[in-house]
Amino acid sequence: MRILFITANRIGDAVLSTGLLDWLTRQHPDARITVACGPVAADLFRALPQLERLIVLRKKKWSGHWVDLWRDCVGTRWDLIVDLRNSLASRLLSAKRRGYRPAHKSNRHRVADNAIALNLAPPPAPKLWLDAAAENAANRLMQNASGPILALGPAANWPAKQWPIEKFTELARRLTATDGPLSNARILIVAAPHERDQVAPLVQALPPNQIIDAIGHDLLTVAACLKRCRLFIGNDSGLMHIAAAVGTPTLGLFGPGYENVYGPWGERGAVARTPESTEELLARLPYPGAFAPNLMGSLSVETVDEAARTLLARTA
């Protein structure tokens, strides 16, 4: 069986699509799967069982990347095409069966929206596959860590939804204090290579021997590190979804984002959000997508601390 799976450019959306791949690998253990995705998300799929080919869609003018995809795939008669991008290219390929995510926006969680492509209920939970390289790299990064580990994802791809760094610092000190729920825990800091400057104040504010620096590592290594952590706290981001997908209790911080659509999936996920609604915060922008100052300042350390302790107790 030949399956073509077309998924997202962004890391978070790509992670949220992996539940469908997990379902497909279990239903069709002999299938040969081709995955097409954007370059930043490609690393997530390198250890997928039954992966025959990984096609990286690098955006081109005039949608040239879709033409490239069609050329790469037109010579194959596919048994199933799952296209979560709703592209014209996939409709011009030969296939016995096709599945598409609804093109219109909804208030459903993205995992539930994706499941519609294959008419699955309940929606299959996201899952990541780790290879030996990722596990070995995580072992090297965390070889001296003992006891619980608190993971923090303090960066964001949009400044408006980044909880202030000084609040991450205060929260980390509270949770890992001698009388805290993660007493004397090590702190794993995760971020993309280009986000090091964003998170530098947090790294500098904490004791060096307390920090495990996982900034700039490949996504599967980060996933392997997060899998070993007792708790992840971070902004609405792809790293938040990676933490949830590997089963780590995950607290997502929301303000101008939509937690009903992009909150951490699963029973081990929780959300802390600003007192203002998403709509109230977005109304402060002069126009949609405009550069904005930080919109997360009203989310207090006390609120996040309480949510973290509740999640820790619930997942003890």
- Asked if residues 118 and 98 have their Cβ atoms less than 8 Å apart, the reply is no
Angle at 58 between CA 56 and CA 59, to 5 degrees: 145
Nearest Cα neighbor of 237 from 168, 150, 156 is 156
* Domain span at 262: 132-314
Asked whether residue 125 is assigned to any structural domain, the reply reads: no
182 and 49 inside one domain: no
- Residues 49 and 26 both lie in one domain: yes
Which of these, 121, 27, 14, lies nearest to 79 by C-alpha position?
27
Vertex 45, ends 43 and 49: CA angle to 5°?
145
Q: Are residue 167 and residue 300 in the same domain, yes or no?
A: yes
Instruction: Give whole-number Cα distances, 262 to 49, 108, 212, 238, 265, in Å.
Output: 26, 9, 27, 10, 8
Measure the N-to-C terminal CA separation of the chain; round to a whole number of Å: 42
Q: What are phi and psi of 82, to 5 degrees?
A: -110, 115
102 in the same domain as 137 = no
For residue 274, being part of any structural domain is answered with yes
171 and 94, same structural domain? no
Same domain, 74 and 41: yes
Q: Which of 93, 118, 143 is the last residue of a domain?
A: 118
Neighbours of 106 (CB within 10 A): 13
Express each pLDDT in 60-109 by its tens digit.
999 999 999 999 999 999 999 999 999 999 999 999 999 999 888 889 99
Same structural domain for residues 154 and 263? yes
Q: Enumerate residue ranges in the chain where pLDDT < 70.
A: 289-291
CATH label of the domain that carries residue 212: 3.40.50.2000
141-180 residue pLDDT tens:
998 778 899 999 999 888 899 999 999 999 999 999 999 9
Q: Per the domain annotation, does 41 fall within a domain? A: yes
Q: Is residue 285 in some structural domain?
A: yes
Shared domain check, 165 and 82: no
What is the number of domains present in the chain? 2
**Does residue 65 sit in the same domain as residue 155?**
no
Distance CA 126, CA 259 (A): 16
Burial profile 250-286: b = 16 or more Cβ within 10 angstroms, e = fewer: bbbbbbbbbbebbbbbeebbbbbbbebebeebbeeee
Cα–Cα distance between 273 and 257 in angstroms, integer?
9
- Say what the pLDDT of residue 293 is: 78
Pick from 223, 83, 249: nearest CA to 141: 223
Contacts 24+ apart (CB under 8 A), 283-291: 285/160, 291/159
Does one domain contain both 94 and 173? Answer: no
Q: Do 225 and 305 belong to one domain? A: yes
| The 32-37 sheet, strands edge to edge | 51-56, 32-37, 2-6, 78-83, 95-100
Question: What is the C-alpha to C-alpha distance for residues 301 and 281, in angstroms, rounded to an integer?
Answer: 19
Closest by alpha carbon to 160, among 37, 25, 43, 254? 254
Looking at the fold, whether 99 and 240 belong to one and the same domain comes out as: no
d(CA 158, CA 243): 20
The residue from 96, 118, 140 where one domain ends is 118
Q: Is residue 127 part of a domain?
A: no
Q: Which of 83, 118, 153 is the last residue of a domain?
A: 118
In a domain, 191, yes or no: yes
Beta strands in the chain (DSSP E): 2-6, 32-37, 51-56, 78-83, 95-100, 149-153, 186-191, 211-215, 231-235, 250-254, 269-273
Between CA 11 and CA 48 the distance in angstroms is: 16
Give the pLDDT confidence score for residue 290 in this predicted structure. Answer: 67
In a domain, 126, yes or no: no
The helix/strand/coil state of 306 is helix
